[in-house]
Amino acid sequence: MLNAGPLIAFGMATSILPLWLYVSLRLLDNLRSMRFIIANLVMMAVCLFAHPRIAFTWLLFIVPFIVVKLSLKYILGMLGVCAAGAVALFAYMTTHYQSSRYFNPSSWFHTFVPTRTLPASIGVLVTDNIAGPAGILVAMVAIGAVGIVIIAPWYLRHATKSVNNSVRRESVAIGILVIAVSTVYVCSAAVTGWFANIVTAVWYRGETRPITMLPLLFIILFSYTLSVLWYGATIERLAWRQVVCGIAVFMICSICLVGQVANPLRTDLRNTLIDNTSLHNDNPHEQMTTQKYRVLADVAQRVDTDDVVIADPLNGSMYGTAAFGTDMLYPIYNPKAEKNGAIFGQVERAFASGDPQQVEQTVCPISQQGEEYFLDMGQQAPSLQMFTFKEQYDPFHDEQIINSYVDKGVLQPVQDYSHLAPRGEQWKLYRFSCR
């Protein structure tokens, strides 16, 4: 799934996650149920196959229920597993992502810029990112649902002792869950600093992934609220309880219906997707335009299959691989210390150094049978500025560095695409003087 794109893979895993959470919750109610043990293993395998990092979202949702439902020995066992996983993750990160900032959380994600203000992020949180009257309705029901979670033990005070204890524990778990998900989302969208960096690190810091938790949180919150109201209406057949339950069912059904037919944000998102995936883009610097498509098509015809093309992927050159099969060395955005990521780190540092000899010694061995090219296709696309590691590509669109290598003979012009570039920009394909 990751080969299809990390966000597509994460979306797939998020779609399957409710099933994994369901069988996990059922297993917590009966730890010896072989049926739910097997179901958990199957759903875990499917979700992790779609995207391994979905495990962190699963942990965020399931840990509150583990804490309130299981005995101390199981809780300690779970903590041990989490600690072992944290150590393994830290070992993986330190060996694959070399950095001197691991023990200075305030310096993590140093290029991160909040995408929303604090009030705006709270607004998205309580409305489930639904705008207009439907969003107001969602916020009202959500606030009411949280209130019911708080008073649920009192509301079911006349139920049996076992039921009341179960409701009390589940209310605490859902309360913790609401606080945890809210904290993660608000930090990912509007908060900077060491605490926000730590809380959101496993979701790549931005709000793109945490925002997918909100619908699942609302499903759990509304489902629990309805079950409490319904059960309360059955154990005490009071007219007002039945009316409250009926109103709650009506409002939640209304949210489901109105949110599907009247959500301006969904319309805006659709238009944004159309703009970003259309070649006929008004912004000539966007990641893909008709002109950039023509450049990449021409590059693919000029280079051989064994040749490697180095470029800033965030100006759209990365699509040379997907569209034409060109070997673009860096269609990635994480600085790894292995395979192509390691090669990129070496080339990036060499290219930024301004030293022709260092560049040739680093670049020329990349392709054993072909040649190495450099594509200058302008600045990074505005819609790709969310990528945390975008600054690593800055040398590849620095005209001063590029011109210095041309003057020193390191880069030899092959084709000029300036007639396709925005006014004042020089788009060119170069060949490294390796052979």
Rounded CA separation 256/134 (Å): 9
Rounded CA separation 374/404 (Å): 14
- Residues 6+ away with beta carbon under 8 Å from 174: 64, 149, 220, 221, 224
> At 428, phi and psi to the nearest 5?
-150, 155
pLDDT tens-digit map of 264-291 = 777 777 777 777 667 777 778 888 888 9
* Cα atoms found within 13 Å of the Cα of residue 127, Cβ hemisphere only: 20
- The helix/strand/coil state of 376 is strand
User: Given CA atoms 342, 344, 350, 353 in this order, what sign does their dihedral have?
Assistant: negative
* Of 146, 142, 130, 129, residue with least CA distance to 258: 130
Q: What is the pTM of this model?
A: 0.76
> What's the Cα-to-Cα distance from 210 to each of 88, 271, 282, 388, rounded to whole Å?
23, 22, 31, 16
pLDDT of residue 1: 45
Full DSSP string of 160-200: -HHHHHHHHHHHHHHHHHHHHHHHHHHHHHH--SHHHHHHH
Q: Cβ of 127: how many Cβ atoms within 10 Å?
A: 22
| 90 vs 132, residue with greater confidence | 90
pLDDT tens-digit map of 122-138 = 999 998 888 777 788 88
pLDDT tens-digit map of 95-125 = 877 777 888 888 888 778 888 999 999 999 9
| 257 vs 191, residue with greater confidence | 191
Strand partners, 413: 430
* Cα atoms found within 13 Å of the Cα of residue 144, Cβ hemisphere only: 19
Rounded CA separation 112/83 (Å): 27
